[in-house]
Amino acid sequence: MADSKTTTARRSTGARSRSSSTSRSQSSAQRSAFNWSGKGSWLGAAAAGAAFAIAANLGRKLAMQGMSAAAGDWDDVLAAEHEATLALFDKILATDDSQTTKRALMIKKLAYALDKHAHEEEHVVYPALRAANDAHDADLLEGEHGYVKTYLFELSEMDKGSSDFLPKVREFRDMISRHAKMEEEEVFPRLKQGLTEEQNSHITSLVNKEGFKMA
């Protein structure tokens, strides 16, 4: 009879069906990253040592950026970031065409928030989705992150006093809002439902760790 580690490996291996060589090499990486037993995971002894140094620096960094440490499960952390990002969009939409410096600074702040958020999702949650046999949604969402970068590029290149600025920001906000709604209402609950308590708290630790790296 298979032990629990073997069963986990089999479940993980069986979860993937894509056939390209790229997919196969990504799958190997996912198997090691999502070793649910914790052995050989990113939270090993070396990582724990590094985590102390990261944590020591975190308070100062968060204070500088006007942020507070996130609390709750991984999906609560990500939903809170969605909300904060949408609020930032609303502040940008409240500017007028004369506030060019303010707009430039706010776009930088928006880019920072979205980069941190994408880093957490792309390094932990989307790989976990693929491991749970939801590669379709993971690929779709990751593809949309590419367009997030495109909007950020266009807005940072754009004349901040242009009459095209706010319509572009509005279009970008709508896209982010739809993306966040799909994550919060469909994809994340489905993933969470299939996780054990241990797997769920492991994903929370990994999301927080990736967020600290970007803080």
Binding site for Fe ion (CB under 5 A): 121, 141, 183
Q: Among residues 121 and 137, whose Cβ is nearest to Fe ion?
A: 121
Cβ proximity to Fe ion: between 141 and 155 the closer is: 141
| CB of residue 84 to Fe ion, shortest distance in Å | 11
In angstroms, the Cα distances linking 136 to 6, 80, 122, 129, 150 are 26, 25, 14, 9, 22
Could you tell me the smallest distance in angstroms from the CB atom of residue 154 to Fe ion? Answer: 19
Concatenated DSSP letters of the chain: ---HHHHHHHHHHHT----SHHHHHHHHHHHHHT-TT-TTSTTSHHHHHHHHHHHHHHHHHHHHTT-----SSHHHHHHHHHHHHHHHHHHHHT--TT-HHHHHHHHHHHHHHHHHHHHHIIIIIHHHHHHTT-HHHHHHHHHHHHHHHHHHHHHHHS-TTSTTHHHHHHHHHHHHHHHHHHIIIIIHHHHHHT--HHHHHHHHHHHHHHHHHH-
Q: How far is the CB of 73 from Fe ion (least distance, A)?
A: 14
Select 145 or 160, whichever has its Cβ closest to Fe ion: 145
Q: Which is nearer to Fe ion, 103 or 121 (CB)?
A: 121
Contacts of 139 (CB under 8 A, 6+ apart): none
Look-up: residue for tokens 């290149």? 157
CB nearer to Fe ion: give 62 or 175. Answer: 175
Report the nearest approach of Fe ion to the CB of residue 112 (Å).
15
124/141 with CB nearer Fe ion:
141
Token digits for 177?
């809002």
Min dist CB 212 to Fe ion, Å, is 17
> To the nearest whole angstrom, how small is the minimum distance from the Cβ of residue 141 to Fe ion?
5
